């Protein structure tokens, strides 16, 4: 079942990827010396070496992309871990981000192969970037070996990405554009894989549990009262659900809707 958490993750991650690509295109012109500061742009910018400045700005953007996407991914993990998709809440206050990802992966009985290790590496890399002097985050020795073991599959699916080289870049805290783009793609595919494992609600209680966990139950009750007063209750509730949680609409009308 597609949850609102998926829509939010894809929307925000899509923006970040677009910004990354736009900046990469712009910086390519900076590096070649084609671009100069417009006279109306009130900033101090007169690099002695435009190529070096462009490359450093690209490196900064790639690191920033890791941080932003990792944050969106961890927000998704938190939302699903505390939702009816999990029989009991998987999030514990003292758990770090990587542990939450691992707990969710185990809950859905997913493989611990490259499809999981890529997103996990993204989260560890975020920690390295944000806390460079005190973070020792990283894949375990066994996980690194597993990631490299899947090299041929990874190369085939992610534009010839070499896991061994990506891990070397991680150790140096120096992500390449290919590393970033590929890890983001892996994370998107991983989130979609989680969504495919989330069961559809099969009862009124399960539908209400989903609406409640997402803070939609009270809002829907208000819509119900307002639209019923206008003689358009079903239309009002249908519109609300289509806007906020399209995947639950069919189940809501099957299990919860009662004509007045």
In the chain, pLDDT over 70 holds for what percent of residues?
97
Supply the pLDDT for residue 258.
Answer: 81
Contact 249, 241 (CB under 8 A): yes
* pLDDT tens-digit readout, 222-233: 999 999 999 999
Nearest to 56 by CA among 36, 33, 31: 31
* pLDDT tens-digit readout, 230-249: 999 999 999 999 999 999 99
> Is the pLDDT assigned to residue 260 strictly greater than 60?
no
Question: What would the two tokens of residue 91 be?
Answer: 């999030």
Query: Considering the chain, what is the average pLDDT of its residues?
Result: 94
CA dist., res. 114 & res. 125, Å (int): 15
- Sole residue written with tokens 């495919």: 196
CA dist., res. 176 & res. 128, Å (int): 15
* pLDDT tens-digit readout, 54-108: 999 999 999 999 999 999 999 999 999 999 998 776 776 567 899 999 999 999 9
Contact 135, 67 (CB under 8 A): no
Chain CA centroid to CA 113, Å: 18
| Residue 215: CA count within 13 A, CB half-sphere | 3
Q: For residues 133-167, b (16+ Cβ closer than 10 Å) or e, as one string? A: eeeebbbeeebbebbbebeeebeebbeebbbeebb
66's CB contacts (< 8 A; 6+ apart) are: 122, 125, 126, 129, 175, 180, 183
| Residue 242: CA count within 13 A, CB half-sphere | 6
Range 36-60 average pLDDT: 90
253's CB contacts (< 8 A; 6+ apart) are: 234, 238
């Amino acid at each position: 079942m597609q949850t609102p958490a998926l829509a939010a993750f894809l929307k925000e991650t899509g923006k970040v990827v677009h910004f990354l690509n736009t900046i990469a295109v712009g910086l390519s012109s900076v590096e070649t010396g084609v671009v100069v500061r417009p006279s109306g742009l009130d900033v101090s910018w007169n690099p002695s070496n435009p190529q070096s400045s462009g490359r450093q700005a690209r490196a900064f953007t790639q690191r920033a992309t890791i941080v932003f996407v990792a944050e969106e991914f961890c927000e998704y993990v938190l939302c699903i871990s505390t939702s009816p998709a999990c029989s009991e809440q998987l999030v514990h206050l003292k758990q770090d981000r990587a542990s939450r990802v691992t707990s969710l992966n185990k809950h859905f009985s997913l493989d611990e192969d490259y499809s999981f290790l890529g997103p996990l590496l993204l989260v560890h890399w975020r920690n390295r970037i944000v806390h460079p002097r005190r973070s020792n985050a990283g894949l375990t020795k066994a996980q690194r070996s597993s990631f490299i073991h899947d090299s041929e599959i990874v190369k085939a699916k992610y534009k010839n990405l070499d896991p061994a080289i990506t891990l070397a870049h991680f150790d140096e805290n120096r992500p390449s554009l290919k590393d970033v783009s590929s890890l983001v793609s892996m994370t998107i595919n991983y989130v979609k894989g989680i969504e495919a494992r989330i069961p559809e609600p099969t009862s009124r209680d399960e539908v209400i549990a989903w609406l409640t966990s997402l803070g939609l139950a009270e809002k829907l009750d208000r819509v119900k009262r307002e639209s019923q007063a206008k003689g358009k209750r079903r239309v009002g509730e249908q519109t609300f659900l289509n806007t906020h949680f399209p995947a639950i609409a069919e189940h809501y009308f099957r299990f919860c809707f009662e004509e007045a």
